[in-house]
Amino acid sequence: MLGRLRSSRPLLLVAVVVCIILYMAGHRLSSVSIEPPSFFPWTAASDRNVSAYVSTARQTSLLTPRERCSGDEFLVVVVPSSPGNSQRRKAIRNTYGQWIRQVDSATTTRKLLQLSDGWNTLNNEDEKSTYVARKDYLDHPSPLLTNSKVSAAGDVSQGMTRELFSLDGEHDMKDNSPISAKSASDETKTATTASVHHTRGPLGPRVQHSTFAELNRTLKGKLFFILGRENSESGVSASLMNEQEVYGDIIVEDFVDTYQNLTLKSLFMIKYITNHCPDVKYVAKVDDDVFLHVPNLQRTLITKDTSEKLILGCLFCYVRPILNPTSKWFSPRYMYQGDHYPNYVSGTSYVLSGNVLTPLLAAAIHTPLFHLEDVFITGILARMIGVKPRDSMDFSYQTRPTNPCLYQTASMGHEMEPLQMYKLWNMLHLRGMTSSCKPFTAAETRGYMPSKCDANIIHNESVLLCMYICIIITTSNLCMRYCSEVKLMYAMSLRHQAYLAGWPSG
């Protein structure tokens, strides 16, 4: 037995050496600098000193909101938008912005849509009817939803939409519908008939057994939009000035508004809130193609300790930089040299507690700028200030269908066009629809779950390969000892990567 073990040692040594060589070769290959595309603005010669772009000592805004924070805000929602996205901003103000502003009577249906230029782009009355709620369904459950649960994976069907939304004609409520006389009479007692254009309160009167959160009006909020300039030569356009005159909720900062400058936009957001809303408990950064269910987000945040430093969103772990220069998320080696990013949350929407804003901005001033905003703000800077980003099922980077039943728990829906926001807003105000929803599982609410998030897990493939070879060749402790050496090399490599990336390795 001893002789066989000794005879296997040369083969074992060769296997371990091959593993190490493969790892080192792969690491070197991934470190090869790839020439960025011509349109990529952050070249190797670019100044990545954040203080060259974001001054913490002086006022740099080209346009500031008319309405300011009062000092007792629980939640400030900031929407990064582009100068040309006026219809998205209007849709946000007219839908979930009403929750943030806590309007007394939430406007829905055709009247609201006619305020939007998007109404005129609809092709026909059939299409328009999709976004107009019938009075009948404001107070009575839908037979279609009572019969069966709406699939979490898809939108409300066209047939169901036609049943729920109609411009004219009477809906035939059959006597043989599955709604019992008792449930109908109970709901009649608890609900006051709403007009076609309004419901009473943001979510209407409370429906018995409803699992939907209601707006907490004791928690004050503010809504702002933050933009840059259209190009290096332009100032603030006349159309944007007119929009500001009407709404007074826009921040315009002095930088060119492009995807590669999103990091600057978020840093300007943090700067503005730090200076003008210093006592805010939470800040939600929400892209302008995201629908935010404010009552659900309130319900999530109210359970948190406000003294705790919090970064909350859809968590990504052990993500490797993309070296393909044609990718939207291209990361040149001269900007980031590590094998993987620190854990971070998706930039589609996330929440920062007010007490992390000043530390984040201070850390940014002393850290070379990285163009992928979510990685930089919630990953690299978060690690520098000692805050671990946390995952929440409220958030998802994936596209969520315009299915109101998903919003029993979800706080946001991504990749929504303005008319989809109107449609979802209307459906969330149909008491008959929301009271008929059945609970969804976590998997139905979000199809993605973060993995490899434990820092104690060894992720390096060479270590796993080494152990696999050990199992095949021999079960000796000697083999495992060689693998431990590879593991040690990996740990040293991580510390070196941390040093190169400019953030602590602890």
- Summarised one tens digit per residue, pLDDT across range 140-155 is 333 333 333 444 445 5
- Summarised one tens digit per residue, pLDDT across range 411-423 is 999 999 999 999 9
pLDDT at 286 over 50: yes
pLDDT of residue 439: 85
Tell me, letter by letter, the H, E, C secondary structure of 18-57: HHHHHHHHHHHHHCCCCCCCCCCCCCCCCCCCHHHCCCCC
pLDDT of residue 371: 97
With contact defined as beta carbons under 8 Å apart, do 315 and 234 qualify? Answer: no
Mean pLDDT of 181-198: 32
Strand boundaries in 98-242, DSSP class E: 221-229
C-alpha to C-alpha distances, 283 to 40, 54, 185, 251, 471, nearest whole angstrom:
30, 19, 43, 15, 51
pLDDT at 166 over 80: no
With contact defined as beta carbons under 8 Å apart, do 343 and 298 qualify? Answer: no
CA dihedral 353→255→59→263, nearest 10 degrees, is: 20
Give residue 374's identity as a one-letter amino acid code.
D
- Summarised one tens digit per residue, pLDDT across range 448-484 is 899 888 755 544 555 565 656 665 555 555 555 555 5
With contact defined as beta carbons under 8 Å apart, do 99 and 123 qualify? Answer: no
The burial of 357, by beta-carbon neighbours within 10 Å (0-12 exposed, 13-18 middle, 19 or more buried), is given as buried
Global pTM value: 0.72
Helix axis angle for 2-30 and 477-501, nearest 10°, is 10
pLDDT of residue 75: 98
User: What are the residues whose beta carbons fall under 8 Å from the beta carbon of 500, sequence distance 6 or more?
Assistant: 337, 338
Element (H, E) at 390: strand 390-391
With contact defined as beta carbons under 8 Å apart, do 433 and 142 qualify? Answer: yes
C-alpha to C-alpha distances, 64 to 67, 201, 266, 285, nearest whole angstrom:
9, 30, 16, 18
pLDDT at 69 over 50: yes
